[in-house]
C-alpha cells in the first residue's frame, strides 16, 4: 500500500471527495447475517476513509449515510440506522477532536428523530473550530429535496423584495443549498458495483469525476480509497475545453 501511496501526486489531489457508501446489506447477507449487521460494520470503513483523506490532506469528505428515499425501508432498519448514528457520533467525538475534524451535516435534518438531531447539533457545535478536514454527513439527504428547498427560499426572498430575479445565478443558488459552505465535488466514489447517483449532490457533481468499485462498503479500506485517488489523477478534467488548452495551462 505504501508504494501506491507514494505514487499519488500531491499537487493533483481532489479537494472534495463524496462517497456513496453502498453495499452494507449485501455484505451482511453474504455472511448469512441480517442487513443491520452490515450497517454495524460500516464504521471501520468510515474511519479508514477519514484517516486517509486526512493523511492526504483532502480538505472535504462527504459521506452519503441516509437518503430521503431510505425512509421507505423497513422500520426496524431505519430505527437501527438512526440509533447507530447517535451512538457512533457520541463514541467518535474524542477522535474528531484529536484528529481536528469538523463535523457538518446536509439534508432535511428536521425529519431526523429528536435524539439524532440533538446529538448531531451538539457534535457540530463542539467540532466547529476544528480545521484539518470537514467531514459532512448527508442524512435524510436527497438532491431533489435540496433543490426544492432552495427554490422555496429564493422565491420567498423575491416575494419579500430581498432578491431580484435577475440576480439569480449559480453563485446565489450555491449559497442557498445545504452545501453552501462546501466546494464543488471533484471525485465521487460509489461502492458495491452500482453505477448510479441515487439522488446525491446532483448540482454539486456537475463536473465531478465518477469512480465505481465492486468493493462492498464494509470491506472498503484505505487502499481502496487510494486506488480511487490514483484513478482520478489519471483523468484529464477538461471542463469543456480541449485537451491542448488544458496542457498549456498545466
Residues with a known catalytic role? 22, 70
C-beta closer to ligand IPE: residue 155 or 193: 193
Residue 62 CB contacts under 8 Å (≥ 6 apart), including other chains: 16, 17, 18, 19, 106, 135, 136, 137, 138, 179, 182, 185, 201
Closest approach of ligand IPE to the CB of residue 103, in Å: 17
In this structure, are residues 116 and 148 in contact, taking their beta carbons and an 8 Å threshold? Answer: no
Closest approach of ligand IPE to the CB of residue 65, in Å: 5
C-beta closer to ligand IPE: residue 42 or 154: 42
Residues of this chain that bind ligand IPE (CB under 6 A): 20-26, 64-67, 69-70, 81, 192, 194, 196, 198, 217
C-beta closer to Mg ion: residue 34 or 149: 34
In this structure, are residues 24 and 35 in contact, taking their beta carbons and an 8 Å threshold? Answer: yes
CA distance 23 to 5: 25
C-beta closer to ligand IPE: residue 154 or 201: 201
Q: Could you tell which of Mg ion, ligand IPE, none binds residue 59, using a CB distance below 5 to 8 A set by kind?
A: none
What angle separates helix 222-233 from helix 43-55, to the nearest 10 degrees?
Answer: 50
In this structure, are residues 71 and 78 in contact, taking their beta carbons and an 8 Å threshold? Answer: yes
Is 22 one of the binding residues for Mg ion (CB under 5 A)? Answer: yes
- Chain residue at closest Cβ approach to Mg ion: 22
In this structure, are residues 209 and 232 in contact, taking their beta carbons and an 8 Å threshold? Answer: yes
Closest approach of ligand IPE to the CB of residue 216, in Å: 7
Q: Could you tell which of ligand IPE, Mg ion, none binds residue 146, using a CB distance below 5 to 8 A set by kind?
A: none
Note the residues at the interface with Mg ion (CB under 5 A): 22
Amino acid at each position: 500500500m505504501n508504494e501506491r501511496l507514494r505514487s499519488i501526486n500531491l499537487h493533483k489531489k481532489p479537494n472534495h471527495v463524496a462517497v456513496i457508501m453502498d453495499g452494507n446489506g449485501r455484505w451482511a447477507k453474504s455472511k448469512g447475517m441480517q442487513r443491520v449487521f452490515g450497517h454495524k460494520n460500516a464504521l471501520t470503513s468510515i474511519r479508514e476513509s477519514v484517516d486517509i483523506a486526512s493523511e492526504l490532506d483532502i480538505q472535504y469528505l462527504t459521506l452519503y449515510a441516509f437518503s430521503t428515499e431510505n425512509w421507505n425501508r423497513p422500520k426496524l432498519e431505519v430505527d437501527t440506522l438512526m440509533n447507530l448514528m447517535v451512538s457512533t457520533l457520541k463514541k467518535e467525538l474524542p477522535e474528531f477532536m484529536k484528529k481536528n475534524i469538523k463535523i457538518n451535516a446536509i439534508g432535511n435534518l428536521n425529519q431526523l428523530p429528536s435524539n439524532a438531531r440533538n446529538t448531531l447539533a451538539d457534535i457540530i457545535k463542539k467540532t466547529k473550530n476544528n480545521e484539518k478536514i470537514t467531514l459532512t454527513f448527508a442524512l435524510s439527504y436527497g438532491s431533489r429535496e435540496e433543490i426544492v428547498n432552495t427554490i422555496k427560499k429564493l422565491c420567498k426572498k423575491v416575494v419579500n423584495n430581498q432578491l431580484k430575479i435577475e440576480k439569480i445565478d449559480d453563485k446565489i443558488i450555491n449559497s442557498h443549498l445545504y452545501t453552501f459552505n462546501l466546494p464543488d465535488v471533484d471525485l465521487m466514489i460509489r461502492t458495491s458495483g452500482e453505477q448510479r447517483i441515487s439522488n446525491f449532490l446532483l448540482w454539486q457533481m456537475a463536473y465531478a469525476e465518477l469512480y465505481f468499485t465492486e468493493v462492498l462498503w464494509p470491506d472498503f479500506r484505505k487502499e481502496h480509497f487510494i486506488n480511487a485517488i490514483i484513478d482520478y489523477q489519471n483523468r484529464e478534467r477538461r471542463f469543456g475545453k480541449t485537451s491542448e488548452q488544458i496542457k498549456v495551462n498545466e
